[in-house]
Amino acid sequence: MRDINRIVIHCTDTKHDHDVTVNDIDIWHKARKFKMIGYHYLIRLDGIIEFGRPVDMIGAHARGFNKTSIGIAYAGGIDKDGQRVNTMTEQQTASMFYLIESLVIVFGDVELCGHNDLTDRKSCPNFDVGEWWIYQNENTEIS
């Protein structure tokens, strides 16, 4: 298994009500000459987590950071007015939180960031991941 020190959050930059699948993104990424989908996980509108690129493979989601990171994308990121914002549904939010928590159990202390934290050229996931994570930790009940 490769060394993982970072989880990078992305969005698909699709409309808030347009669900996409790993197969859809695989087609998009192959059209860009990727071997396969660049993300390791995709969280669909209903909160279902789909597996993308195997975690033991280096991702293709954050240039310069792929070797030691895991990429998670959520379907959405564009609101009804065409603005780039956090469009995660309640189900996506819950799934994202629990997926991150699970990955931390497996990989230990990792940095959590948005793609937008790694480059000025990206707005994805269209929100501040650090602020989101603090809010989630303060307001999520583990049962």
- What's the pLDDT at 1? 76
Average pLDDT, the chain: 96
Q: What is the pLDDT of residue 142?
A: 61
pLDDT at position 143 over 80: no
For residue 29, indicate whether it is catalytic. Answer: no
The angle that helices 90-107 and 129-139 make with each other, rounded to 10 degrees, is 90
Domain parsing of the chain, residue ranges: 6-139
Dihedral angle computed from the Cα positions of residues 141, 102, 71 and 83, in that order, rounded to the nearest 10 degrees: -10
Annotation marks residue 15 as catalytic: no
Where do we find the tokens 């994570």? 133
Q: What is the mean pLDDT of residues 12-38?
A: 97
Average pLDDT over residues 67-84: 98
Say whether 80 is catalytic: no
The model carries a pTM of 0.96
**Which residue among 11, 16, 29, 39 is the active-site one?**
39
Does position 40 have pLDDT exceeding 60, yes or no?
Answer: yes
Q: Give the CATH class of 6-139.
A: alpha beta
